[in-house]
Amino acid sequence: MSDASTAAPADRTSSELDGRVALVTGGSRGIGKAICLALSARGAAIAVNYASNESAAREVCEQIAAAGGKAIAVGFDVSDPEAVDAGVKQVVAELGGLHILVNNAGISIDALLMRAKDEDWQRTVDVNLKGAFACSRACARHLLKARTAGRIINVSSVVGEQGNAGQAMYAASKAGLIGLTKSLAREFAGRGVTVNAVTPGFIETDMTDAALQGDARTALADSIPLKRIGRPEEVAACVAFLAEDGAAYVTGNVLRVNGGLYI
């Protein structure tokens, strides 16, 4: 069995999370990858979850190891509760505990309501909402044991707060995630465990790649008060803040990372 306290990235930004273990769902790419790197740079040992892209998850682990940190890749579909339970057991067995859960894995299937299919609704809700529910439940015992170091951080979306035409399924799942966040914040508060959400706006990743090309990109950037698309690292910095001891009195919160798109 490995010891999380040996994690000590050479390029660390702080030692705030020394000895802590973080599971980041969807850590293989985009925002999740940036979160893995940010938490590792603060000293946490990282379980990098992925759905199918094992090589990308292993690359994240190698990047963390090259910086002197510790990470393992753990493949499971967050929408499959049995697979989630097995994955969480693996994380605890290999990294020696679990203090921080970041429910980041998500998909976006866009369609106007009249063209939306039942199976697309089901898959969106299964991954984005049931996934966070299943992961939170599987991790709960370990997070409660971590007491004031325990954290759940859910990656919702600006779309869950303000809605978006053509994204009803995605928006509903992300709004549901905010309800889950607030309820679990109340449920876990007695043990000092905090539960918060971040709501990114438009962030440069594979998910938004198609929408962020050419004139559409310029128009989109113009509609954002800070006049630019966000970077995964900017979301990761907010997640890292919520994971640190300095945020121990912040719970049930929704932290907007959207360049002022929704205020």
b/e burial code for range 139-171 (CB count within 10 A of at least 16 → b)? bbebbeebeebbbbbbbbbbbbbeeeeebbbbb
Q: Which stretch binds ligand NAP (CB under 6 A): 2-10, 12-20, 139-147, 199-207?
A: 199-207
- Interface with ligand NAP in residues 219-258 (CB under 6 A): none
CA 127 to chain centre: 13
d(CA 35, CA 57): 13
Which of residues 40 and 157 has its CB atom nearest to ligand NAP in the complex? Answer: 157
Contact call for residue 42 and ligand NAP (CB under 6 A): no
Which of residues 123 and 145 has its CB atom nearest to ligand NAP in the complex? Answer: 123
Q: Sheet containing 21-24: give its strands across.
A: 71-75, 45-50, 21-24, 100-103, 151-155, 194-200, 254-257
Based on the residue annotation, tell me whether 170 is a catalytic residue of this protein: yes
Contact call for residue 133 and ligand NAP (CB under 6 A): no
With CB under 6 A as the contact rule, the residue among 31, 60, 64, 180 that binds ligand NAP is 31
Please answer whether residues 139 and 101 qualify as being in contact, where contact means their C-beta atoms are separated by less than 8 angstroms.
yes
Q: Which is it for strands 21-24 and 100-103: parallel, antiparallel or unpaired?
A: parallel
Contact call for residue 107 and ligand NAP (CB under 6 A): yes
Which of residues 28 and 194 has its CB atom nearest to ligand NAP in the complex? Answer: 28
- Exposed/middle/buried for 219, CB within 10 Å: 0-12, 13-18, 19+? exposed
Give the per-residue contact string, 142-181, with ligand NAP (x = CB under 6 A; - = no). Answer: -------------x-x------------------------
Q: Which residues bind ligand NAP (CB under 6 A)?
A: 25-26, 28-32, 49-53, 56, 77-79, 104-108, 127, 155, 157, 200, 202-203, 205-208
Q: Which residues are catalytic?
A: 170
